[in-house]
Amino acid sequence: MPDAPAPLDLSTLRGEIDRLDAEMHALLIQRGAIIEELIAVKKTSESGSAFRPGRESAVMKAIAERHRGILPLDTVESIWRVIIGTFTFVQAPYSVHADVSGGDAPMRDSARFHFGFTVPYVPHEGAPAVIAAVEGSRGDLGIFRIDQGASAGAWWRRLAAPQAPKIIARLPFIERPGHPAGTPVYVVSKPLADAAVREVVLYAVRVERWRDAAAEGIATLGGEIVCTTGLAGELSTLVAVPGRVEASDLVAALEASRAPVSEIVEVGSHAARLHLDDVAARAAAASRAAIS
């Protein structure tokens, strides 16, 4: 039997690490050069935010699907988020406005993890203030907790006007227990018609009276009630449904449940959530199929 190859010594291993570090840095420089060309082609610096939530979601999901080895996914995800968020900022500078009414720390963690330290972070008190700041900006983003509580009122109504900011993403893109920036948040920006991803669509719905069966009707469409609050004798609710569901389907389901709809307005959309457990299950299934 041939002898096993001798293990590499410490200096050789460190040399390999240095080589890889230099290659990664060179690749980042090359990425920056491509971004410079992209700016010239797209003129994003003249048109506001360069944020593309659909593409970003696809990139992050692909990373989760292919990741292997001892390096924690938390680290890999954070590295890519900083790269993407920073290069987006280089294309068209923006700030992230954050609702800190429920505490600054979790929102700062979300902003820094998902957008990096280069992007300015601006705190506000409440989702309505964040929405107003984004509306008055050139191309900024806003983030706030999905569960705002009853005291926040029907904040989603502020997204209803055609040119008002819209929900364009739900973070984190990859959900898992113990996520370092795991607070569920919505991202709002001025409308991005050419960049929106419509795997999940959000509607602001007003119903004249509520029936418990209405929630079941929404569930039959594969949707869910995100938030509700009373509004001038009616109930205002934020409903999330799969992108394949039309607004008319949602109205029909509610009215079949004897919850008459007085108004329905689309207020945004985002990519479907990716759960790490689902990734692991698919990897295990693929491994079993390969063995068989």
What is the Cα 11 distance to its own chain's centre? 42
Q: Per-residue confidence of the chain (292 residues) as pLDDT tens digits? A: 566 666 668 888 999 999 999 999 999 999 999 988 888 887 655 555 678 888 899 999 999 888 989 999 999 999 999 999 999 898 888 999 999 998 999 999 999 999 999 999 999 999 999 999 999 998 899 999 998 776 778 899 999 999 999 999 999 999 888 999 999 999 999 988 666 789 999 999 999 887 788 889 999 999 999 998 876 668 889 999 999 999 999 999 999 988 889 999 999 999 998 887 776 666 555 556 656 6
Q: Are 221 and 250 in contact (CB under 8 A)?
A: yes
Pairwise CA distance, residues 166 & 158, whole Å: 9
| Residue 101: burial class (beta carbons within 10 Å; 0-12, 13-18, 19+) | buried
Rounded to 5°, angle at Cα 229 from 128 and 168: 45
Helices assigned H by DSSP within the chain: 10-42, 53-66, 73-91, 104-115, 127-135, 212-220, 247-256, 276-291
Which tokens is 116 given? Answer: 């990096």
What is the Cα 205 distance to its own chain's centre? 22
pLDDT of residue 50: 74
pLDDT of residue 9: 83
pLDDT of residue 234: 80
